[in-house]
Copies of this chain bind each other. A is one copy, B any other.
Amino acid sequence: MADKAQLQEAIKTQGEVVRKLKSEKASKEQIDEEVAKLLQLKAQLGGDEGKHVFVLKTAKGTRDYNPKQMAIREKVFNIIISCFKRHGAETIDTPVFELKETLTGKYGEDSKLIYDLKDQGGELLSLRYDLTVPFARYLAMNKITNIKRYHIAKVYRRDNPAMTRGRYREFYQCDFDIAGQYDAMIPDAECLKIVYEILNELDLGDFHIKVNDRRILDGMFAVCGVPDEKFRTICSTVDKLDKMAWEDVKKEMVNEKGLSEDVADRIGEYVNVFPLVFSYIYMKLLFSYLELFQVTDKVVFDLSLARGLDYYTGVIYEAILSQTIPAPAEQNGADEAGVSVGSVAGGGRYDGLVGMFDPKGRKVPCVGVSIGIERIFSIMEQKAETSSEKVRTTETQVLVASAQKNLLEERLKLTSELWNAGVKAEVLYKKNPKLLSQLQHCEETGIPLVAILGEQELKDGVVKLRNVASREEVDVPRADLVDEIKKRTL
């Protein structure tokens, strides 16, 4: 526990940090974060400084989805799930946390980004970092040797968030994987076909899919003289080539990873000079299938693609959108400046992962792809904002309304009848709402029809059905109302 004087000192310092950021016109995100810290410090001070200051925010790097964002999310999910189902996939789900041990040793340098749960007695747990390791654990645990499955769920990484560009600490992955011993490169080609189909259907503009093979990288590293035990760590350095210049990548290899300058230069030569030659020799079979699937126009061989994760053993790939997301007002750190914001899918073959979980080390070959949809959401949201078309967040077909007083019971009764008949209906929760406010509710939420009740209508056994857009009204016999509404809102 910090004592009071220390706390007050810390509050003073933090207050200066906030003022400085504001004067420098820093990003809203950055300022909000420092303000939150300030409020938390003040909260610790407690009673003396007035009542407890509650910090009203979501956890760093996370966000709520409002109804409009949910409508867009549902649209994106529908496209992705349709594609997965078209390719004959089943779906599974796994818990959001795993035994800590399950995740240990699977992610190489990225393991530091794993969220751990507090030890409250019992097992040590961590939030899942991806859906691939839980999938491998699931296969080993249930002794499944072949399955084609998709899994759409949130994963967690304690990374530096950049939320305006769709980089979060809690984010969705949409994974499609094929496990099983099959003839070479056929399921691998289907994964690429799936990426192609989904990016096409999402209509996000031009894209390309980089392909490489870990075995080519390993062969190249061996030829260049990289010691065996450094293959994986050099892989994750090579993978930074899309964000860093070759000179910086080389520096990391030599200074941090302890490669000789000579070896690093040889790697550079391969990566920068020989890609075309390689593609024809090593990837002939894969490309022949991609030809049959008619997707070669977007697929390019790229020897500099390495992917960070430890577990890949064969083909690897990554899809990049040509369009970029503008980063409004956000300040980028120096190491962020060149980040390709366009990477929206990635994956590869991992034939050894399931064997790491099997007590007897039995291997199950796997290949898969993960669609990272947060960036896709960002693009779609911006599209929706600039579009004139209004996004509806409910599917209500009709509002049951009245222009006269004392008809609440009649409105509730009719609404209930409509619900029972499967019609999507709303009613305002007021005893005597004004007709105008009932019509306004329809305009605001896009409800197309109003069923209006009055003394006369009740006497005549009809309901006045009003088209909100055209303002046309027609009396419909109560017995025909459901059919009429369904007909008009097909």
Contacts and interface: CB of A to CB of B under 8 A. Distances in A.
Given A98-B58, A101-B55, A137-B56, A186 B412 contact: yes
Contact of A123 (B59, B65, B431): B59
Nearest to A432: B183
Contact of A294 (B127, B393, B416): B416
A190 B411 CA distance: 13
A1 interface: no
Interface residues of A, number: 89
Interface stretch (A228-236, A322-330, A418-426, A465-473): A418-426
A426 B109 CA distance: 38
A416 B170 CA distance: 35
B85 A395 contact: yes
A65 B90 contact: no
Given A54-B359, A116-B120, A170-B96, A429 B137 contact: no
A322 B230 CA distance: 63
Nearest to A138: B64
Given A137-B56, A180-B429, A64 B92 contact: yes
Contacts of A393: 90-91
Contact of A289 (B115, B118, B412): B412
A486 interface: no
Given A85-B394, A116-B118, A97 B182 contact: no
Nearest to A431: B183
Contact of A154 (B70, B96, B115, B408): B96
Interface string A380-394: 000000000000011
A123 B412 contact: no
Given A57-B99, A419-B87, A187 B118 contact: no
A123 B43 CA distance: 14
Interface in A394-442: 394-396, 408-409, 412-413, 416, 419-420, 422-426, 429-431
A429 B365 CA distance: 13
B90 A67 contact: yes
A178 interface: yes
A293 interface: yes
B65 A93 contact: yes
A44 B296 CA distance: 51
A374 to B, nearest CB: 13
B118 A59 contact: no
Interface string A80-120: 00000111111111111111010000000000000111111
A90 B426 CA distance: 12
A158 B87 CA distance: 39
29 contacts: A43-B101, A54-B359, A56-B140, A56-B141, A58-B99, A59-B95, A59-B97, A59-B123, A64-B94, A67-B90, A67-B91, A67-B147, A70-B93, A86-B423, A86-B425, A87-B425, A88-B424, A88-B425, A95-B170, A96-B156, A96-B170, A115-B120, A120-B158, A178-B429, A180-B429, A183-B431, A186-B430, A187-B429, A292-B412
Given A67-B90, A85-B424, A87-B425, 5 more contacts: A54-B101, A56-B359, A64-B95, A65-B94, A96-B156
